[in-house]
Structure 1
């Protein structure tokens, strides 16, 4: 079970309260400004929905958190995860792609080191690929009218070794050729996975990849939620017995 619900909050042009100054307050102010927000003080809290509290004194920080929370703001208290109603992740920026790494307040240092590892792996061109795909939405709908076909075609293209491999710096330049290709959609497909363990860490790489792209998940009721949650979040889930649909990718999960 996840401890936090990850969200990307748009604050451009909106006020965000910052209580406190010094290095912590400056860092929070920069973070807000970087996202296009307008840092403001507590007197303007009635205009805001979020608040960052950067006070060294624990009692003052706790009192400020209560005041602002009582006014309906979500609060983040620096170095006090137990008082935080939201946390700020370590952010990998490939605009418009943002990868947010959080630990639910357990260790900001760990989140930072994970981000640094990913920084070395992901090309700067990732944002250009995202922009190109966004601008090609109408063309993709025209090329693959069925939503499942469109999703499966995009999954195949973006996968490792695919036409638009995410780690290939030249992928953004290949989108037009990919859209013009004669590649046919795979159509309905059903894959059966027989599990030998209730531990999601025992899934093979292939099984994990399939679950991550599934459209319909049909499963044995005895299979634990920890494994079911490895499937696509918006996939249709149905307990066995259930007839596979006639479109998209269906995975049947059974327990050995």
Structure 2
């Protein structure tokens, strides 16, 4: 596995691969890798001869300075996990390499970014779109792999690919969970033991919502109220939002759409850590 630290070396690496007729897969990450990331890497290795994993804690997508400062950074441990999973090149740039000058470009994804994460983290998706665009331009992948845990991010990137005509396929993989149901996340490392014990309640709340959606005996707003009541009973959890949305548009629902999937999405704080999760109900 090669380790690349500059945009120029990444471009040279992928240009050579393309000249040799090799398919290039990209797995963008912020590091502190877990099984969810490795699942994406292994999938890329099955479909592509060249697999690039980027590790970059992108400052432009953090609207909370403490979250950026405390985000776990484990490059040596991450590198040790990547080669056995099928990674052929690790792109590990500095902030100065990715942003040689401050970026002034602004993306606007319309209604798609005015809800959920976009509403509660202003500027977040502008930072995501900026860094993902840079990674796509530098690595020119045939396929890019993302996890469904960041459901809104996947939708934003899909829109980015369509609007800017990137010549690649986006591959989204289902959320990988711990044995107790907690969605795997790099931020889980920061959970104190007491908060970690409570954290699976988030998934149980989503399961409750899923059952109510499938029963169709309550409206979306009534489902939302039931989940809010369920989580209010756990003092350690501060719910930021829970919403029932159209899985394609991510817009909140007031009635059930015929023959369309529904997404149940939440964000919550516990133990000083912000976690997100979702379930898509067909």
| TM-score with structure 1 setting the length | 0.30
Structure with larger Rg: 1
Structure 2-normalised TM-score?
0.28
Q: Give the helix-richer structure, 1 or 2.
A: 2
